[in-house]
Structure 1
Amino acid sequence: MRSKKDILNIKQTLIDTFKDAKSELKFKNHYELIVAVMLSAQCTDKRVNLITPALFSEYPDVFAMANANLASVKMLINSCSFFNNKAENLIKMAKAVVADFNGVVPLDEASLKSLAGVGQKTAHVVMLEAVGANVMAVDTHVFRVSHRLGLSRAKTPEATEVDLVAAFKTELGKLHQAMVLFGRYTCKATKPLCKECVLAGLCKSKDKIV
């Protein structure tokens, strides 16, 4: 694991470099946010943004989605990975929001995780996007960056999240956004742009290209 000094340097560099970082998912309200985040699981934000305009046009709010036709939802999102399960979960999620939360998407972790298709990562992304919650969400980019930078050796996203929370403690939402963009465009899975990397001096990864 990294020293406290290294962790602070990594944290500050990420925050300074990506100070305006925000999700690349497009949404206008909390309903659109949770739908977009649910669709983004194992699917690119770019693909989700191509799917959601027609979906939101047909089902503009949680009440419409709660009464949606399953076949119609499947058709609208069929270019998304695991669209069959996601379509079912979107409708179940909306029904629960209507029945249990008076049609208002909840923004606390326990309530969010009670919804179909919403695990810890999805709940945390919704929370940090909606209210700036001090939570970390570990997707494939954050997982890769964390391990390359020696911030975690954990085998699962959940355990990696624990390591990151312990290391960074504060500004976790900002760091999530920064690490997503950093992993997506610089610290890529293949052919990382090490010569352009702001953290090159702190990176000891075996994947480092010198």
Structure 2
Amino acid sequence: MDLFDDRNWSILLEPLILSYKGKPHPLHYKNSYELIVMVILAAQDSDENINRLTVPFFEKYPNWFSLMSINVADLYPLLDSITNFKNKANWIIDLAKEFNDKNLPKTISGLTRFRGIGRKSAHVILKELGYNPNGIMVDLHVLRVAPRLGIVLCFKDADKMEQQLLSKLDSSIWLEIGMAISFHGRLICRPIPNCRSCNVNTICDYYKNK
């Protein structure tokens, strides 16, 4: 990547936004409660695994109220095949005692005050619930794809990458571009990328330098 790169990435990335805008999130949630629980559980785990394992979880615990008076160990048998399940169970119980749909924070800073919700998770929650996070969601797929394209330097730190993306991209696309790049990373620009099927390969540094 050229440090003095003056490409208009907001325009160049429009094909990605057009391809993925409106695509349902991979987590199959039904309401804000399910969304938040699933986002927390999905950290360092697969969306497919979370979709499958939360079916019996939500049958037994259908809302925040149902979690308020239980012991955290009661959740272990339902979550024990999820990465870091004991910590995640504690975080979910803590959240159940803190808020419900009526007092759900509607900002990144408000959500990240709670254990188990980082910036990426907060971005996903707010966007899916119809609020504007005023930032760009950076997950492991964005960490891989954005440097390949040449938009940013190769960072392993999601917060640093988000700041660089914010400086490179118009605010008009912030809401959509994170998930668009993420979907592209899931479907096309995988660890071994399918460059021939990529609709932005003509602007991609990785493809040009193959």
- Confirm or deny a common fold (TM above 0.5): yes
- Structure 2 unaligned regions, length at least 5: none
| Equivalent residue number for residue 89 of structure 1 | 91
SS of the residue 1:138 aligns to: coil
| Equivalent residue number for residue 161 of structure 1 | 162
Alignment pair present for 1:145 and 2:148? no
Alignment pair present for 1:126 and 2:125? yes
One-letter identity of the residue aligned with 1:63: F
Separation in 1 of the partners of 2:176 and 2:91?
28
Deviates further, 30-39 or 14-23:
14-23
Q: Are the aligned partners of 2:135 and 2:162 in contact in 1 as well (CA < 8 Å)?
A: no
Deviations 1:71-96 (A, max 9, x none): 22121111211111111111112112
Same amino acid, percent of matched pairs: 32
Deviations 1:2-22 (A, max 9, x none): 745441343211112223323
Q: Cα 1:74–1:4, aligned 2, differ >3 Å: closer, same or farther?
A: farther
Alignment of 1:50-199 (within 5 A): 50-97=52-99, 104-133=103-132, 134-153=134-153, 154-168=155-169, 169-189=171-191, 191-199=192-200
Q: Are the aligned partners of 2:151 and 2:165 in contact in 1 as well (CA < 8 Å)?
A: yes
Deviations 1:8-44 (A, max 9, x none): 3432111122233231101111111111111111111
Q: Compute the RMSD of aligned alpha carbons.
A: 2.1
Q: Are the aligned partners of 2:137 and 2:179 in contact in 1 as well (CA < 8 Å)?
A: no
SS of the residue 2:99 aligns to: helix
One-letter identity of the residue aligned with 1:194: C
**Shift, 1:197, TM fit:** 0.9
Alignment pair present for 1:17 and 2:19? yes
- Structure 1 unaligned regions, length at least 5: none
Deviations 1:31-75 (A, max 9, x none): 111111111111111111001111111111111122233122121
Separation in 1 of the partners of 2:119 and 2:190?
24
Separation in 2 of the partners of 1:137 and 1:67?
34
One-letter identity of the residue aligned with 1:122: S
The TM-score normalised by the length of structure 2 is 0.88
Q: Are the aligned partners of 1:31 and 1:105 in contact in 2 as well (CA < 8 Å)?
A: no
The TM-score normalised by the length of structure 1 is 0.88
